[in-house]
Structure 1
Amino acid sequence: MSFDPRAHRLVPEQRWFGDFVLGERFPLPSRTMTSGLFAAFQAASGDNHPIHYDAEYCSAHGLSGMLAHGYQVAIQTCAGAGLFPHMVEDSLKGFLEQSSRFLHPVVLGDTLYPLLEVDELTPQRTTGILGLRATVHNQHAVQVLEGRHRYLLRMLPV
């Protein structure tokens, strides 16, 4: 039996623009916001405001804990954490845009539950725009983020 690296895929059947339906959901793995994740985000972003990294500062300002940076919460909706990008390896032309609104604070120790849901299907001639509503809830079922992603996908080749 020979090995073909092109057949080595997490999701063997590829999907094209026309294969998606409104309301289709893509849950992403939950993640607890640990001190290690806070430190990794600080190192990657360069953000050094004490509201994100100094427990005593937060306590002195009446906060229940260190606050996660908004972008640290937004990256929890990264489609690459789930199956969606593996489904569109052959049809994906580009990631067009992302937006986020931060609805409630996220503190050290919160567990986040991200979800992507198809909310737009705009066909074009040879491609289509697929929109994904992004939400993040915490362990108390409080929605902490809402946003959107938009992707350009190819139509199924004829």
Structure 2
Amino acid sequence: MKDGSAPRRTEQDQLFFEDLEVGMRVSGRERQLMQGDFQAFSALTGDAHPIHYDEAYASQTSFGRCVAHGLLLTGLAALGASPISGRLHASMVAFVWQEMRFLKPVFIGDRVTPEHEVHSLHEMHGKPHGRVRFIVRLHEQARGIVAEGHHDYLLRTRVGAGA
């Protein structure tokens, strides 16, 4: 929009619990990680371990160079950072659980892309929402999957949302 505000979402483009199916996948936007990203995350969180920003220190580790913070990667893999997020505004109740495994290091200059796949849907009888588990994978352009895990969300049903 010209004024910089977010586009208004219509009822038709919103997704609710019962609209999701096991196996549905959505990929997020590719992002190239830069040294400034590592520094900003360190400043925000207070995690000032030199392995994330000091090339001389990092060169003496088994990684040989600076590596991304695990929680920075977890944040980049959040469903809220994906294109589907805008279609869940009317149904999102809460992000309730997450677990990630870091399989390979991510370095300055790497390009990562998150992928979310609906793994399971659990109706919560008597509740206006259900629980959805997404398998989350973070792909690095040249080295494949560098992190994987799952995120659980509570999403409203159409009845629960009054839709």
Shorter-chain TM-score range: 0.7 to 0.9
Give the corresponding residue for 2:33. 33
* Matched residue, 2:69: 69
TM-score with structure 2 length normalisation?
A: 0.85
The AA in structure 1 aligned to 2:35 is: S
C-alpha distance in 2 between matches for 1:132 and 1:60: 37
1:135–1:147 Cα contact (<8 Å) kept? yes
Q: Name the residue aligned to 1:108.
A: 108
CA contact (8 A) 1:11 1:87 kept: no
- Once the 2 structures are TM-superposed, how far is the Cα of residue 28 of structure 1 from its aligned partner? 0.7
Structure 1 runs of 4+ off > 4 angstroms? none
2:132 — aligned with what?
130
Compute the TM-score of the two structures, normalised by the length of structure 1.
Answer: 0.88
User: 1:106, CA displacement in angstroms?
Assistant: 0.9
> Structure 2: which amino acid aligns with 1:77?
A
Letter in 2 for 1:57: Y
CA displacement 1:102-142 (0-9 Å, x = unmatched): 11111111111111110011112232111111001111142
Q: Are 1:11 and 1:86, in contact at CA under 8 Å, matched by a contact in 2?
A: no
| Structure 1 unaligned spans of 5+ | none
In structure 1, distance between residues paired with 2:105 and 2:21: 32
CA RMSD, Structure 1 to Structure 2 (Å): 2.2
CA contact (8 A) 2:52 2:68 kept: yes
Gaps of 5+ in 2: none
Corresponding residue number in structure 2 for 1:139: 141
Structure 1 vs Structure 2: percent identity of aligned residues?
Answer: 34
Q: Which moved more, 1:14-23 or 1:85-94?
A: 85-94
- Whether the 8 Å CA contact 1:134–1:147 is kept in 2: the answer is yes
Q: How many residues align?
A: 154
